[in-house]
Structure 1
Amino acid sequence: MAKAIVIFVTASSTDEARKIGQTLVEEGRVACCNIVQPVESIFKWEGKLQVEREVLMICKTREDLFDTVEKRIKQLHSYQVPEIIAVPITQGSKGYLDWVTKETETLQ
């Protein structure tokens, strides 16, 4: 069975997150994308402390698809340097993980 991962992405708005999430699911790059809002992000950008409201995307896909997912997110995202980080899924329901694999198997 393919290894599954969760990819976290922050976006500037619900509309942007929906556009990215829907595109990734429609293209078979991810099986599912949850949108959590709002989240408050605290970070430094260009040397200045920023406190921003953002939207968090939680995307489930296969580990071998990370590069293609990252490339597509960068094409669709408004940020110069979007957060795109992956975490391995070490345990999970076999049925759910099989579904993630099935939904993304059209991309090799």
Structure 2
Amino acid sequence: MFESSQIILTTCPDEILAKQLARALVEKKLAACVKIIPNIQSIYFWDEALVEKNEYQLLIMTRDSCFDEIKDLLKEIHVYDVPEIVSLSIHHGSTEYLNWIKDYVQN
């Protein structure tokens, strides 16, 4: 049976943490690739105040079975009290790309 892949999203306050998280995930073979998108604008409520912040968005390409381990690693390293950690299932994609994710990421 073919295991599904997913994209896990998280945000970081700066490039240093974004690269630290990305490297840790790829080096541990929890992600085949982590894309870092700089300068996204986030607007949200925190501690009863409206917050507007520039952040870095991480797109983590991985297998479904790695979600819990990635979630634990992100919580361990992340500086936010409540980091964004959400996953999006990949329903369709290039067979070659999805096979690359499957082949690189640990079982």
* TM-score, length of structure 1 as denominator length: 0.96
Displacement of 1:17 in angstroms is 0.4
SS in 2 for 1:33: strand
Please tell me the root mean square deviation across aligned C-alpha atoms, in Å: 0.7
Does 2:86 correspond to 1:85? Answer: yes
- 1:26 partner amino acid: E
Match of residue 38 from structure 1: 39
- The whole-number CA distance in structure 2 between the counterparts of 1:83 and 1:102 is 27
- The whole-number CA distance in structure 1 between the counterparts of 2:75 and 2:33 is 18
Match of residue 102 from structure 1: 103
Match of residue 66 from structure 1: 67
- The whole-number CA distance in structure 2 between the counterparts of 1:70 and 1:4 is 15
- The whole-number CA distance in structure 1 between the counterparts of 2:13 and 2:104 is 27
Does 2:39 correspond to 1:26? Answer: no
* TM-score, length of structure 2 as denominator length: 0.97
Runs of 4+ in 1 over 4 A off after TM superposition: none
Match of residue 6 from structure 2: 5
Structure 1: stretches of 5+ with no match in the other structure? none
SS in 2 for 1:98: helix
Displacement of 1:54 in angstroms is 0.3
- 1:90 partner amino acid: H
Match of residue 58 from structure 2: 57
Displacement of 1:88 in angstroms is 0.4
- 1:104 partner amino acid: V
Structure 2: stretches of 5+ with no match in the other structure? none
Q: How many residues were matched structurally?
A: 106
- 2:83 partner amino acid: P
